Amino acid sequence: MRNPRDLERLNANLPVFMKLFDGKVAEFDADDGTATLTFTVSEDFCHSVDVVQGGFITAMLDAAMSHAVFAYDDTVGNLSSLEISTRYLEATRAGFLTAVGRIVRLSHKTAFLDGQLFNADGHLLATTQSVAKIYRKTKEQ
């Protein structure tokens, strides 16, 4: 793991939706190009009593994949998904969830990423693959 201050930096710049899910970057490995995010999703974001809505699942996985890139490369200012595909392996229930994002391949302008979502017992609930456009920071940033 890189300098713990980097973890603080990643958590200081979280998008608002992650705060709704009590989300945070729990750890990352810049050498491996992975980031692990944790969430506690309330039933407010569910249908059928406690089943998390699929769009929220994709958003959590997208955040994990993006943060893998942010942790790996400090010159990345932003990412924009060009394509994202999520497979829901079983119902995701409200509660504690862990999303792991991983860089598959990274070029100057494009990132190929994948992610996995687990429940508190470590059971795999959903997977995703994404292609994202990379926006590099300007020299002023």
pLDDT tier at 2, thresholds 50, 70, 90:
very low
Q: How many domains does the chain have?
A: 1
- Residue 80's pLDDT is 96
Whether 141 is covered by a domain: the verdict is no
Residue 128 domain boundaries: 4-136
CATH of the domain at 80: 3.10.129.10
Which of 92, 27, 28 shows the shortest CA–CA distance to 60?
92
Give the neighbor-by-neighbor strand order of the sheet with 124-136. Answer: 24-29, 34-41, 95-106, 110-119, 124-136, 76-88
Whether 14 is covered by a domain: the verdict is yes
Q: Roughly how many angstroms between the first and final C-alpha of the chain, as a whole number?
A: 24
DSSP state of 137: P
Residue range 74-111, pLDDT digits in tens: 899 999 999 999 999 999 999 999 999 999 999 999 99
